[in-house]
Amino acid sequence: MKRLVLLGALLCAGPLRAETPVLLTPEQYAPGKFLSAPPAPGSTQAKAELAEVKRIQAAATSARMAAAAWDDGHEDESAFLEVMGAKGKSLPATAQMIHALVKSEAPASSAAKKAFQRDRPWIADASIKTCTPHATGMPSSSYPSGHASFGYAAAVVLASLMPAKAKAIQARADDFAESRIVCGYHFRSDLVAGKAVGVLVAKELMRTPGFQPYYQAAQAELKAAGLTQ
């Protein structure tokens, strides 16, 4: 009965984001269980990844840099609306589902950042410039990429709801993650680790009973909007 009440509230009353709970426990995403350490500072791989950041930034067009800056500020459902065919549509239940996902994804990526404490690219090399102003605190928080974690977690869930658009959704997650290198915020292995965190979180959430009302409400909403069958 509680699930039916919540489902109805999500469909009819809109999102109540302040009340969204964290649905996973720390044991479900303990970073030591599924992530290896990032490349050691000064190692061959670390140097290669730093060189890659510089190459990608040097080759980025102004349009690609602007897109990366936009991605930096949109760690939410809006990052996927275009590939979903939903741009301009009101999808409150879908937004609420993504918010519920973020509430569990953010602690997972934060726990991994605290465990590994890798310096950001601009700390490793002062010549690296970011596409948006970066916070002065928490410079040792590069691994894994939280944006990549969010993007891949959202992609897994959205692709399961919209299988006909799964390839486009997954491609958008790849591009969203790549923006973190374009923007100068992360290294390649940060993105790989972010994907691992995001996929884990999505799979855990989709088998967590507490997530089902959000998922089912989004599913009904997407069908009602004619975006999926």
Maximum separation of any 2 CA atoms in the chain, in Å: 58
Using CA atoms, how far apart are residues 218 and 102, in angstroms rounded to an integer?
15
Helix, strand, coil tally for the chain in percent (to 5): 65, 0, 35
Q: In residues, how long is the chain?
A: 229
What is the amino acid identity at position 168? A
Q: Could you give phi then psi for residue 185, rounded to 5 degrees?
A: -95, -20
**pLDDT recorded at residue 140:** 81
Residue indicated by tokens 């923006």: 179
Domains of the chain in start order, with CATH, are: 2-13+61-224 (1.20.144.10)
Distance of CA 80 to the CA centre of its chain: 11
Strand ranges for 126-227 from DSSP E:
none
pTM equals: 0.91
**pLDDT recorded at residue 203:** 97
**pLDDT recorded at residue 17:** 57
Using CA atoms, how far apart are residues 197 and 112, in angstroms rounded to an integer?
9
Residue indicated by tokens 């069908």: 223
How does pLDDT run along the chain (229 residues), one tens digit per residue?
A: 333 334 443 444 344 455 788 999 999 999 999 999 999 999 999 999 999 999 999 999 999 999 999 999 999 999 999 999 999 999 999 999 999 999 999 999 999 999 999 999 999 999 999 999 887 655 789 999 999 999 999 999 999 999 999 999 999 999 999 999 999 999 999 999 999 999 999 999 999 999 999 999 999 999 999 999 8
| Nearest to 29, CA basis, from 214, 209, 208, 216 | 208
Ramachandran assignment for 76, one of left (phi > 0), alpha (psi -120 to 50 degrees), beta (any other)? beta
